[in-house]
Structure 1
Amino acid sequence: MGNQTMLKEFFLSGLSDLPALQFPLFLFFLLIYLLTLICNLLIIVLIVTDYHLHVPMYFFLGNLAGLDLCCSSVTVPRMLFDLHTKRRNITITACMTQVFFFLYFAAAEVSLLAVMSYDRYKAICQPLHYTQIMSWAVCLQLVSTVWCLSFIYSLVHTLCALKLTFCESGIIKSFFCDLPQLFQISCTDAYLNILLILSLGAILGVGSLTMTFLSYISIFKTVLKIQVPGNRSKVFSTCTSHLTVVFMYYGSVFFNYFQPGVSHHFPGDKAVPVFYTLIFPLLNPLVYSLRNRDFKKALKGV
């Protein structure tokens, strides 16, 4: 037990051990990260400066862009640093800090996607009452609830993770610190931690996914009643692209956190987190915002 408590740092295994891949991976992920920063910052600036975009839908999209910025910035700069310097050691304090903020922003994003689907449901299915239902006070309450509950969710998991002791090797089989990988190298029984992430994660994930799914079911039913074929196909196309991104995001998260056992490894384990830490923060602005007619109009006015 004494050797376990003396552990001061972990070692991140990264995405690949092949020296020839380090620089290409660095350039590729640097490009993706810069594009993510530019796209999401552009969305935030447009929403803040263009008064035509001061409506609930774009208020939520602005929050989503901010979350995408934060979520990718928690993990990607560290990964780029490791690829460039080939130094993969990380202190336990830095690791737990990364765990907290990643869980915080990821939980907030999952919840916000559900809120956004509810907003679209009200806008399309109850247009006459939309402005009364989705007032600014309601929007602020929804976003505040998302941020507050996500903070509590992340804090509970992080505090429980801090009680674990870790084996002497301390090798985390990922490019960043995350709970499933920490459970794998824990020398103490992580059963309660696993039970906690399964129960709270299921409530958060399944609850958000159910709200999103039911909202879009109602939207599709309403869209089928639209008489003009062009308008109907446009709404279908938009909703389908939104749902595709949502289910891909949920799929990658569920794959990472709800595997049959924390000691079980799949060939693509290391690649899966890349999707929800790097790819989706870039996909979200492209799918939700930059294809939007109002955003294109705002861009032309810049």
Structure 2
Amino acid sequence: MDPGNDTGTSQFLLMGFSEEPELQPLIFGLFLSMYLITVFGNLLIILVVSSDSRLHTPMYFFLANLSFVDICFTSTTIPKMLVNIRTQSKVITYAGCITQIYFLILFGVLDIFLLSVMAYDRFVAICHPLHHTIIMNPQLCGLLVLVSWIMCVLNSLLQSLMAFRLSFCTEVEIPHFFCELNQMIQLACRDTFLNNMVLYFGAMLLAGGPFIGILYSYSKIVSSICGISSAQGKYKAFSTCASHLSVVTLFYCISLGVYLSSAITQSSHSSAISSVMYVAVTPMLNPFIYSLRNRDIKEALMRFSGMVATKGTIVLG
């Protein structure tokens, strides 16, 4: 790599968590396990929702989309990290880094959009129960997902194109196990004011906007639940939101925690460890939250496992 030129950097170095050789097998095993659990858990949710006609409702349609996005989000970073550990290499090409940034932003923001769409669905279901099936019809559900994809693709494309204008004066060591746009901007050796403005404006608009929508939806939901006279009715109404509210709380609390820890400690190593929470831990926990706290999903999982067992018996027989 030729340092100091303006034609662009040909490769970066992902420093990861530790350079100690004895820790590499442990890190590899831990992240491989987390990745497999994430893929298997979310894939199971998708299969159960698609195979069970009882779950062909807006809420579970959005849940299946969320599971797909979580698989893609995790697959953007962890496989490359595992390959680097196995090959004892820290290198990622410039094109690979930009590609990773593109898909990381795409699926990360898409997660937020889907969570806000799911909050709107819960708002309609609880505050306007008689009109839920009319309002949240298949056409609107498909349109909401399509618009979310289009907006996230355009935002990712803009952020990635802005990253192309950055130049680096020295061999670039990224203190993460993946390419993060904010880290790249900090390591650039030219004026990054425009990049920072685009990054923070996009974050406020595409992350803050859906968050305000979620808060508004749940303020209306809480108000509606408080107006229900029976305790059983209140519990039933709240139980339909419990899983989604748990995922939203987990996602935003972890994101806020990562941001605050990075801002307070100013430590690249601490930031890398904190980023594991939203890159790997949250997508891994989502299927468990929905399967353990949702009666419909638990019943569908039992039916699905019974169906698989029956087919297996027929084949063996």
Provide structure 1 residue ranges, at least 5 long, that are not aligned to the other structure. none
Structure 2 CA distance for partners of 1:65 and 1:34, relative to 1, 3 Å: same
Post-superposition offset of 1:46? 1.1
Q: Which moved more, 1:50-59 or 1:80-89?
A: 80-89
Post-superposition offset of 1:196? 0.6
Post-superposition offset of 1:259? 8.8
Name the amino acid aligned to 2:293.
R
Post-superposition offset of 1:250? 2.6
Identify the residue that residue 170 of structure 1 maps to in structure 2: 172
Structure 2 CA distance for partners of 1:260 and 1:44, relative to 1, 3 Å: closer
Structure 2 CA distance for partners of 1:232 and 1:18, relative to 1, 3 Å: farther
In structure 1, C-alpha distance between the alignment counterparts of 2:150 and 2:69, rounded to whole Å: 14
Identify the residue that residue 152 of structure 1 maps to in structure 2: 154
Q: Select the structure of larger CA radius of gyration.
A: 2
Q: Which moved more, 1:250-259 or 1:54-63?
A: 250-259
Structure 2 CA distance for partners of 1:238 and 1:138, relative to 1, 3 Å: closer
Q: Aligned match of 2:104 in 98, 102, 105?
A: 102
Q: Calculate the aligned-residue CA RMSD, in Å.
A: 2.4
In structure 2, C-alpha distance between the alignment counterparts of 1:103 and 1:122, rounded to whole Å: 29
| Secondary structure in 2 matching 1:20 | helix
Post-superposition offset of 1:214? 1.2
| 8 Å CA contact 1:71, 1:102 repeated in 2 | yes
Name the amino acid aligned to 2:198.
L
Structure 2 CA distance for partners of 1:290 and 1:20, relative to 1, 3 Å: same
| 8 Å CA contact 1:114, 1:209 repeated in 2 | yes
Q: Which moved more, 1:235-244 or 1:143-152?
A: 235-244
Deviation readout 1:66-94 (Å, 9 max, x if unpaired):
00000000011111222333211100011
Identify the residue that residue 284 of structure 1 maps to in structure 2: 286
- Does 2:168 align with 1:139? no
Name the amino acid aligned to 1:161.
A
Q: How does 1:1-302 map to 2 (within 5 A)?
A: 3-5=5-7, 7-233=9-235, 235-236=237-238, 239=241, 242-254=244-256, 264-265=266-267, 268-302=270-304
Name the amino acid aligned to 1:188.
R
Structure 2 CA distance for partners of 1:28 and 1:142, relative to 1, 3 Å: same
Structure 2 CA distance for partners of 1:216 and 1:247, relative to 1, 3 Å: same
In structure 2, C-alpha distance between the alignment counterparts of 1:11 and 1:260, rounded to whole Å: 20
In structure 2, C-alpha distance between the alignment counterparts of 1:235 and 1:110, rounded to whole Å: 23
In structure 2, C-alpha distance between the alignment counterparts of 1:194 and 1:97, rounded to whole Å: 19
Post-superposition offset of 1:19? 2.5
Deviation readout 1:15-55 (Å, 9 max, x if unpaired):
22232322111111111111111111111111111111111
In structure 1, C-alpha distance between the alignment counterparts of 2:182 and 2:85, rounded to whole Å: 22
| 8 Å CA contact 2:175, 2:269 repeated in 1 | no
| 8 Å CA contact 1:13, 1:171 repeated in 2 | yes
Aligned residues: 302
Name the amino acid aligned to 2:226.
L
Structure 2 CA distance for partners of 1:240 and 1:134, relative to 1, 3 Å: closer
In structure 2, C-alpha distance between the alignment counterparts of 1:212 and 1:113, rounded to whole Å: 8
In structure 1, C-alpha distance between the alignment counterparts of 2:164 and 2:252, rounded to whole Å: 27
| 8 Å CA contact 2:176, 2:268 repeated in 1 | no
Structure 2 CA distance for partners of 1:259 and 1:113, relative to 1, 3 Å: same
Identify the residue that residue 315 of structure 2 maps to in structure 1: none
Deviation readout 1:93-150 (Å, 9 max, x if unpaired):
1110111111111111111110100000100111011111111111011000000000
Post-superposition offset of 1:4? 4.7
Q: TM-score normalized by structure 1?
A: 0.92
In structure 1, C-alpha distance between the alignment counterparts of 2:200 and 2:243, rounded to whole Å: 29
Post-superposition offset of 1:178? 1.1
Percent sequence identity over aligned pairs: 40
Name the amino acid aligned to 2:72.
C
Name the amino acid aligned to 1:139.
C
